[in-house]
Amino acid sequence: MPRPDVTAIITVYNEQQWIRCAVESLLQQSLEEIEVLVLDDGSDDDTPAILDSFDDDRLKVIRCGRMGRAAALAHAVELATGRYIANLDADDVAYSDRLECQAAFLDAHPDHAWVGGGEDRVDSQRDEHYLRLYPETDAEIRRMSAKCIPYCHSAITFRRSVLDEGLNYNPQQPYLIDFEFFLRVAAKHKVANLPHAVVMRRAHGKSFFQSRFKVSDQNRELSRLCRVARREFQLPLWMEAYPIARTVYPMLPTFVKTPIRRVLGLKENGS
């Protein structure tokens, strides 16, 4: 088999409600030279049966005992054979031209190792549905890193060659796994976001990740990583105020959070 242009990875644990839609959205991509690698992280619901129902040579399903999200992501990256690796969360949907657009961007920008894109976000936790776009340029993304996460993890594609530099998801990272990985990639390479949505993202409290880890714990870790970004990217000292404010943000009502996100540079439109 020729080497695929892109390996799209999904790590899944008990997502029987969403996994079919996620896989189908990848198999229906306009870019045909792809590999879809699904790592089933010990699911004990109907997820394995759903994955068995697909008949497509581009789909590779790896089953393992319960590893945990971080270790599963790291293992999936190691198994990927494509020049580029795209992540899609098991409860999200990739738009049909996502992989083609991101592969074309990386082909045209050899100095960039990572490209993301916007998201159509369906947030049942906040009862919101909106389009969120992220800053596009390397400088803008670095600056936002001291404030908040400057990309959608379900929309990112990166060069597999970063693995040769020792860069991969950290299996020991309990949460904000992708942001910790991103900061290490961005310390060595340029990064970007496409100016349009490439995925439909679901945010809901029923996911294993959201139900397991307290919001307060996640915000403490986000605050720490934002401080790492501020120092790593040599941003102004006054930007330390943003990580400190993270401890207050979760307690604010939605109508206050929305304008705050706009001030941070996140472009949101919708109902």
Please spell the DSSP secondary structure of the chain, one letter per residue: -PPPSEEEEEEESS-TTTHHHHHHHHHT-S--SEEEEEEEES--SSHHHHHHT---TTEEEEEES---HHHHHHHHHHH--SSEEEE--TT-EE-TTHHHHHHHHHHH-TTEEEEEEEEEEEETTTTEEEEEE---SHHHHHHHTTTS--S-GGG-EEEGGGGGGT----TT--S-HHHHHHHHHHTTSEEEEEEEEEEEEEE-TTSHHHHHS-HHHHHHHHHHHHHHHHHHTT--GGGGHHHHHTTTGGGS-HHHHHHHHHHHT-EEEE-
Q: How confident is the model at residue 8 (pLDDT cuts 50, 70, 90)?
A: very high
Q: Check whether 185 has a pLDDT greater than 60.
A: yes
Residue 252 banded pLDDT, cuts 50, 70, 90: low
pLDDT of the residue at 186: 98
Q: Is residue 1 part of a domain?
A: no
pLDDT at position 97:
98
pLDDT, position 210: 52
Q: Over the stretch 231-250, which tens digit does the pLDDT of each residue have?
A: 999 999 999 888 877 666 66
Quick check: is 154 in a domain?
Answer: yes
- Is pTM beyond 0.85? Reply is yes
The number of distinct structural domains making up the chain is 1
User: Does any domain span residue 24?
Assistant: yes
On the question of pLDDT at 207 being above 70, the answer is no
Per-residue pLDDT tens for 33-85? 999 999 999 999 999 999 999 999 999 999 988 999 999 999 999 999 999 99
Per-residue pLDDT at 3: 84
| pLDDT value at 176 more than 90 | yes
Domain for residue 177, yes or no?
yes
Please give the residue range of the domain that contains residue 67: 6-270
pLDDT value of position 257:
58
* pLDDT tens, residue by residue, 94-137: 999 999 999 999 999 999 999 999 999 987 766 678 899 999 99
**Is it the case that residue 189 has pLDDT exceeding 90?**
yes
Confidence of residue 211 (pLDDT cuts 50, 70, 90): low
Residue 53 lies in a domain: yes
* Residue 160 counted as domain residue: yes
- The CATH number linked to 79 is 3.90.550.10
Residue 194: its pLDDT value, please? 98
Given pLDDT bands bounded at 50, 70 and 90, which one contains residue 2? confident
Residue 10's closest CA among 184, 206, 199? 199
228 falls within a domain: yes
User: What is the pLDDT at residue 113?
Assistant: 98
